[in-house]
Amino acid sequence: TIASAARDMYFAFDILDAYNTPLVNNYPPMVKVKEGVTNITVRIAASGMALGNEVVWLTTNSSNDVSGSFAPVTAALVTLRTLLQSGLTVPMSAIATQNNMTRDKFNINFKDLVGRLNTLNTTLDTLRRSLQAARTLSGPSPTANVSSSNLNIFVTPVMYTDVKDALNAIKATLSSTTQIARELITNIAYADDFITSISKAALTEIDYVRASDLAFDEEMVNIGANIKLGITDMVDQLYTPQTDILSTNQSQLESISAYNTSLQPTLATLSTALRNVYDYQQLFTNYTVTLNGSIASTASIDNLFKQEFCPVIVAEISSLLASGPYASYCYKKFSDLLKNQFPTTTYDQVECKDIEKTRLYVL
């Protein structure tokens, strides 16, 4: 029946509005495309469901005002047709910023839907005019019943079938609309998950690098301090007794006429030289700074992630938002590979510093 076909069409429009996955990340291009496709599906679904309700209501309307009974259906049909033809410019433009392919698919599909709506409009108008003719034949009284014989003169079973077929055709074409929207929203969900996982991977590796840097810096301080302590012990065996003798005989030395001009500056220079030469702790502090210039530090790893990896990540996300024929395939093939670049990079950095630390301990 027309009523059952209208209900089926109603539920088909209702399904179109079911694909609205919330986003976790606020990546602007992704949010823009998501808002665009959601705007499209919500508005088409609402307008289509309104049309379905009006058709169902029409099948139960026993009013003799034929034109008045058909008017809400016609208005709902025109509203949906206008929406498809010119009412979705803004969200379609939002999709097109990343995604000409999906925009083109929608445009083709909307033209098909408009064609189906035109067919429905024609079949409904044919049925309306036939019912109006039967009503007119029944007399001028607004309460006069339309007899079956008068209906059979003007209204044929084919007219009802044509309306039902037109409703079913809209439902069938709408399945393509749903598929286009579902494919794009699924890819947006992939992109959202990818951003979450890739962000966690990067932050985790940055934490590893930061911990590695801290441990390495501490080891450099320890190595420098230990070497300084060992050498100081050896030097002190010779240097300390001599300084003790000098201290004991300080007054005698100061009585020498050349003390202030010759001996005191020489002793001061010797003391400073010994401190500088054997300040291994400072030497290793300087070494750590130099090493960080040649081996990836936290800052350099962070910069590497941004300059080298982020453009590739953005390209992967853009591919999903474009929703091309290979978008899902590329995502499933390369997403794990991209995430693995982070631990691979940090492993190289950590391993390099571990090797250097071992070498210094041996030294």
Q: What are phi and psi of 205, to 5 degrees?
A: -70, -35
Q: Could you give the 3-state DSSP secondary structure of residue 339?
A: helix
How many whole angstroms from its chain centre is CA 206? 21
- The residues of the chain scoring below 50 in pLDDT are none
Could you read off the pLDDT of 195-251 as tens digits, one per residue? 888 888 878 877 877 887 788 778 777 777 777 677 667 666 666 666 666 655 566
CA distance 301 to 187: 30
Could you read off the pLDDT of 339-350 as tens digits, one per residue? 677 777 777 667
pLDDT value of residue 237: 65
Say whether domain 2-190 belongs to CATH 1.20.120.
yes
Q: Residue 312 carries which side chain, given as an amino acid letter?
A: V
CA distance 121 to 308: 57
Q: CATH 1.20.120: which residues of the chain?
A: 2-190
Q: Residue 179 carries which side chain, given as an amino acid letter?
A: Q
Query: How much is the pTM?
Result: 0.72
CA distance 203 to 196: 11
pLDDT value of residue 289: 66
Look up tokens 């391993």; give the residue.
Answer: 351
pLDDT value of residue 53: 94
Return the H-helix or E-strand segment holding 174: helix 157-248
CA distance 298 to 341: 16
Q: How many CA atoms lie within 13 A of 131 on its CB side?
A: 22
CA distance 182 to 328: 13
- 320 burial level (CB within 10 Å; 0-12, 13-18, 19+): buried
pLDDT value of residue 245: 61
